[in-house]
Structure 1
């Protein structure tokens, strides 16, 4: 029998706090979402000044990343290259850069989605929070 790792609410709050702090330091107004390995929302935050639509986009990016186990940028690139025939997801909004999977010891434990600035900046916010989270696990 194998051990299954998973994100706790405390883990999700750690990720949100570090992403939020990074966004403040860079004067970004974003929405941030953390989902579990199935794409179910664990926690989210919409910063003051972030457009209302960014809340849903952050969740969709995180869900896309969790369900595919890949950064959502992969799907943005596929769409840009006109290769979207195989995609059957309900929402294409999650297929924009800014969704990042959270892998721990080779297992997907969840994903993070960020929306509100340029898509590469959304991804940067998520990536740095995930790096800090994994570093504190040892």
Structure 2
């Protein structure tokens, strides 16, 4: 048997709050999705004024980051580098804005952000992911 850390609802809310604070500081309307290590939704926050499609996109970015244990930007770079076969795999979202949430070396979930330009989504996601480590 192996011990496994689990993302709690309190953790997810702390991550989302830090991400929302970063988005609001920049005047960005986004959706913030937090998933567990299986890519299942734990918490979703939709800021005022964001496009409805961002709800699905944020969840998809988070799911990809959790299941592939890497930032969605890494998937984007791989596809942009010519490895388009990745697009046929399930749960691939090759767009920046999804980051794994890591605690003591284990991926315990992920954050996905959508609503502004993808590099801005990445900034918001990083603020959220960094909050997990800040008090862990």
**Does TM-score exceed 0.5, indicating one fold?**
yes
Q: Is the 8 A contact 2:79 2:86 kept in 1?
A: no
Gaps of 5+ in 2: none
Question: TM-score, normalising length from structure 2?
Answer: 0.93
Matches within 5 A, 1:10-49: 10-49=10-49
Instruction: Tell me the residue number matched to 1:119.
Output: 118
Gaps of 5+ in 1: none
C-alpha distance in 2 between matches for 1:106 and 1:133 = 13
Q: Tell me the matched-pair count.
A: 136
Q: In the TM superposition, what whole-angstrom CA distance separates every residue of 1:31-50 from its partner, at most 9, and x where no partner exists?
A: 10000000000010111110
- Computed over aligned residues only, the root mean square deviation of the Cα atoms, in angstroms, reads 1.3
Q: In the TM superposition, what whole-angstrom CA distance separates every residue of 1:110-134 from its partner, at most 9, and x where no partner exists?
A: 0000001111111111111211221
Question: TM-score, normalising length from structure 1?
Answer: 0.92
4+ residue runs of structure 1 moved beyond 4 angstroms?
A: none
